[in-house]
Amino acid sequence: MTAGGATATLQVTIDGMRRDQIDHRWIEQVGGIEAYVFDGDDLAGEDHWRLLAENLRHIRALGARALTLHFPTEHADWVHDGDAYRKLLRFCEVAAEHGAAGVTLHANQFVAASDWPGFDVAERRRRVLGRLAELDAALAHLPIWIGVENLPVIGVQGIDYDPVFVYPADFAGLAEIGSPRLGVTWDICHWAVTHALARAVGNLTQRPTVLDPLDLPEAPLRHIHFASFAGIALPHLPYTCTEGVAPQDGDADPGVLAGMLGAALDRAPGAGVVFEVQEEDYGDRRTCWSTLSWLRSVPALRGRFRNGGS
């Protein structure tokens, strides 16, 4: 049992615009939902907002034990685009109105591989942190957290980066803001990809990585995403990485993944854990259930999840 008896609630993802993706059995037997809106253009009109609100009301009516939202990643540069920032504010209002605990947010600062050599990461991080401080002040009246997510060191196709928050140290400025609202959504799949690529490069150059797979940001952990991956993407080479693989089927050592999850739960025992796994058919969930079976098979993780295993 965790310190203080806190246990985490397990969640699965749905497209927030598609009620047919809700797994009723998951809600009844296990836990909760993280509702994504993938593209900022999907929040372009009032009909979109009404549909999102209707689906969130439906999730709450079904009795989901936890509800969180995920802000769009495409066409959603909330740092530099005023319209995208206003959408983010409204998204957070909708989240709070429907009882969501928090909102996961990417930096959304994409850089093409061809532009990477001249990109100033530190300067862009300063801009993002400034906007986050502004967002924090604007949301002071809402009882929700914002979980800023770590991204992999390079995108799944190896052609672009979202490099602002990748390594644990990248979140130092977030911790310095000192807000009880702002924190981290720690994506274990993304960190496993980053660690694996760093280790491969270290082996190639005979300079072993100093990254510890159990490293975590100093900023507060609000939320956890969990999955494995298959393949490594490299810039300028035709390799891709598949995220959202079940832990027993991916390239990452399942024992290391279990250690990563355990370390994150030690830091934030009651945080929600989202199975961010891909399904062949989101109306007929299988990967999330196989991931749950794997979780129940790991002795070190038993007793750490509400309705998650014994």
Answer whether 276's CB lies under 8 Å from 227's CB.
yes
Q: What is the pTM of this model?
A: 0.95
What superfamily would CATH give domain 7-301? Divalent-metal-dependent TIM barrel enzymes (3.20.20.150)
Strands 228-230 and 221-226: unpaired
Distance from chain centroid for Cα 299:
25
Tens-place pLDDT, residues 278-298: 999 999 999 999 999 999 999
CA separation for the pair 20, 289 (Å, rounded): 17
Assigned token pair, 225: 């995403």
Tens-place pLDDT, residues 111-151: 999 999 999 999 999 999 999 999 999 999 999 999 999 99
User: Residue 260: which of 192, 166, 168 has the closest Cα?
Assistant: 192
The H-assigned helical ranges of 139-279 are 172-177, 188-205, 254-267
Q: Check residue 309 and give its pLDDT.
A: 52
Q: How confident is the model at residue 1 (pLDDT cuts 50, 70, 90)?
A: very low
The mean pLDDT value for 216-241 works out to 95
Strand partners, 32: 11
